[in-house]
Amino acid sequence: MKKLAFLLTILAAAATMFFACGGEETPGDITEKVYFSLADGEYDYVIDKLDTNGDEMTDEDREKLKKILEMSKGQIEKKGGIKTVSIVKEEISEDGKTCNVQAEVEYGNGDKEPANSNLVMVDGAWMLTVGK
C-alpha cells in the first residue's frame, strides 16, 4: 500500500510539472532563449526558430547564418555576456497568428537595452520573423 501511495505521489508531481511547464514555447520563452543561445554560441536553436516562408534552408545557408550569428555573440561578449532577459510585453494578435515581444536585455557590464522580436505561428509553433 505504501508503494502505491508513493507511486501515485510521483505520478501526480510529474503531471503537475508537465502541465505547469506546458509543452509549447511561448513567444517570450523563445525570445529569451534566442538571446541566451546567441550568448552561448548555440546557433542551431536560433536558426531553427527562423521562419523561412516554407523554403528549405541548405547547409551552406546555415553556415553563412552561423558566421553572422558569431558576430552577434562577439558583441554580447564585449558587454560581459547576458545577465538577464526580461519580457516586458507579449502581444499576440487577435487571430493568434503573429506576436510582438518587447524585452529588455541586461548585460554583464550593467548596460540595458530594449529588444523587440516579431514572431509568426507556423504549423503550430512560434517562429521568428526577420525583416517583416
Domains belonging to the chain, first-starting first, are 28-128 (3.10.450.50)
Neighbouring-strand partners of residue 113: 105
pLDDT digits (tens, 9 = 90+) for 65-116: 999 999 999 999 999 999 999 999 999 999 999 999 999 999 999 999 999 9
Q: Are 51 and 129 in contact (CB under 8 A)?
A: yes
Q: Are 128 and 119 in contact (CB under 8 A)?
A: yes
The pTM is what?
A: 0.77
- The confidence score (pLDDT) of residue 71 equals 93
- The confidence score (pLDDT) of residue 132 equals 52
- The confidence score (pLDDT) of residue 15 equals 32
Question: Does residue 23 surpass a pLDDT of 70?
Answer: no
Q: Which three cell numbers stand for residue 65?
A: 547564418
Alpha-helical runs (H) found in the chain: 2-21, 27-40, 43-48, 59-78
